[in-house]
Amino acid sequence: MSPLRTLALGALLLPVAAYANDPYSYAQPDEVRVNHLDLKLKIDFPQNKLDGQATLTLDWKDPKADTLALDTRDLNIASVESIDTNGKPSALQYALAPRDKQLGSKLTIQAPQHPRKVRIVYSTSPGATGLQWLPPAQTADKKQPFMFSQSESIHARSWVPLQDSPAIRFTYDAEVIAPKDTRVSMSAPNDPVHALNGDFSFKQTHPIPSYLLAITAGDLSVKQTGPRSAVYAEPSVVGKAAHEFEDTEKMIKTAEQLYGPYRWGRYDLLVLPPSFPYGGMENPNMTFATPTVLVGDKSLVSLVAHELAHSWSGNLVTAASWRDIWLNEGVTTYVQGRITEALYGKRQADEETLLDVHTLQREVGKLPANAQRLAPPPGDIDADDTLSDVAYNKGSWFLRTLEQRFGRDTFDNYLKGYFNHFAFQSITTEQMLDYLKPNLIDKYPGKMSWDEVKEWVYDAGIPKNAPIPDSPRFDAIDKERTAFLGGTLTAEKLDAKDWNTQEWMYFLDGMPDAPALDKMQQLDTAWHLTGTPNAEIGMRWYVHAIGAGDKAAWPAAAEHMTRIGRLYLTMPVYRALSKTPDGLAFAQQVYNKAKSGYHPLTQQAVEAQFAKAGKH
């Protein structure tokens, strides 16, 4: 952990971490930085591993430094060499430290001669936390095995030895050998007509942080959705995905009109098997997406707007530490809302905003004070846990407040300037605020005080004057829900025939944790919610049905939990079942059957929930 320093910021004086050295990384970037990666990989499906060779180009900062420290987790290191200007290798001494549960193993390489390049030959573990290997039976088409990475937050180190910190950006070239008829893609420009000959190469010319390093390999088809976009998915899924994401080019153009040119060339989407633990991952040039958004009516394509928005906030301007991750997720959630409003109307954008607001209002008070702050002081928190509702929803709420106070046109111009000013850099909250103060707060005096800014960023909770949008549709749903629960409106008389996904989500979110069983049975009879293919609605429905004691819904809940590995859509059902002994036993049975199809992160979360439930 780095020592504290005091940073002066206008009238603000407070201690912040010296993030030259990331507390979640063993790297010492003040001594030496990786600025380019040459990666050679061979995909070994039978052994569930990658055989790799990583050649790191180094920029030595400290003439007194004599070691290179890299992050690894469960890598088998075969050799380490320096490479001279003529390409001649020389063996280097190295030591691999014992494994830390969170950080992995520090790889210390003796390099007193400051070599320009260092090459590590290695292989990954079958249990690498950043990779998932699926046998054919766990894919949509059940024909070929499938492999994909998830490097965020600090899991890139489980498949490449590197400086695994968002503060360190590098370009990369990669050569990947795969079985024939397998398509490989990476977080770089991909060729949609590449021959499936088992030999792929990639070049990422823009410097990216390690958590955006990504790879996937499997039975993938491609359909173009625009002049610079395509959808990659298994053959049985690609048509549906291309239809759902046919507005991608419109989204890109909308974002460009607001915030400047898209600087990455192509923007493709890859729909992963259902075990993917997140909604989406903004890997440059190739967003990874969950199949749970493929509901047929585009009601959940704001996920694409979110991942596309990361091309400006996150990939272009990156949080320098996981402590600052709201700079990625909060800004992106705001930009997502603007794209959604432009393409699908203010009603849908406001409804999605209100769902986020109500989620944060329900949850924020349950969190420790530090976890309620956008930029907390250094603390003992897992890097994965920094990606919370606070980062996403409080962060975006802060930006909506700035927009309201300064006016949309003024704030758009400011945000466009912010992206240009910090393009391809990793920055801290304090650097962002150093830019905000003269370019918005002081430039337009009387709109918002600096004390209000500090309250949003550094204080716990939500400021009392935080603006909330109006939604007449949600107001009407509140009245209907109250009447239904009060017995003055029957389930079949609910005006729900034309409710979109967001409106059903809102209706169910407002139900009691343990509603009356007869009410839930009436709802199901009228609207057939058990077995819904819409996972957003299904997750909420099963949580309430379980809370009501409706065991008739358990088999469908089990199918939902088995089919979907996305943490957000699966964990609430596990938590609901874990509240009773019978439910816990059923959940454990479901997990034993579903476990092999879950990502390691999902497995960890479910097992932690069982351990917690077993203590009560």
Provide φ and ψ at 450, rounded to 5°.
Answer: -65, -30
The b/e string for 594-613 (b: 16+ C-beta within 10 A; e otherwise) is: beebbbbbbbebbeebeeeb
Amino acid at the residue 501? T
**Residues 6+ away with beta carbon under 8 Å from 182:** 43, 144, 196, 198, 217, 218, 219
Tell me which residues are annotated as active site.
307, 392
SS3 531: coil
Q: CB of 292 within 8 A of CB of 566?
A: yes
Bridge-based pairing state of the strands 317-319 and 425-427: parallel
Sign for the pseudo-dihedral over CA of 382, 386, 389, 394: positive
Two tokens at 219?
A: 């039975």
Measured CA to CA, the distance from residue 551 to residue 573 in angstroms comes to: 13
| Beta bridge mates, 185 | 216
Bridge-based pairing state of the strands 117-123 and 49-60: antiparallel
Per-residue HEC secondary structure of 444-509 comes to CCCCCCHHHHHHHHHCCCCCCCCCCCCCHHHHHHHHHHHHHHHCCCCHHHCCCCCCCHHHHHHHHH
Q: How many other CB atoms are found less than 10 A from the CB of residue 251? A: 26
Q: CB of 179 within 8 A of CB of 47?
A: no
Q: Chain-centre distance of CA 382, in angstroms?
A: 15
Q: CB of 281 within 8 A of CB of 186?
A: no
**Residues 6+ away with beta carbon under 8 Å from 517:** 548, 549, 550
Q: CB of 123 within 8 A of CB of 76?
A: yes
Measured CA to CA, the distance from residue 255 to residue 266 in angstroms comes to: 14
Measured CA to CA, the distance from residue 46 to residue 116 in angstroms comes to: 36
Distances (CA, A) of 347 to 255, 263, 342, 344, 503: 19, 30, 11, 8, 11
Two tokens at 291?
A: 């199949």
**Residues 6+ away with beta carbon under 8 Å from 436:** 418, 453
Q: CB of 215 within 8 A of CB of 176?
A: yes
Secondary-structure percent of the chain, ordered helix, strand, coil, rounded to 5 = 40, 20, 35
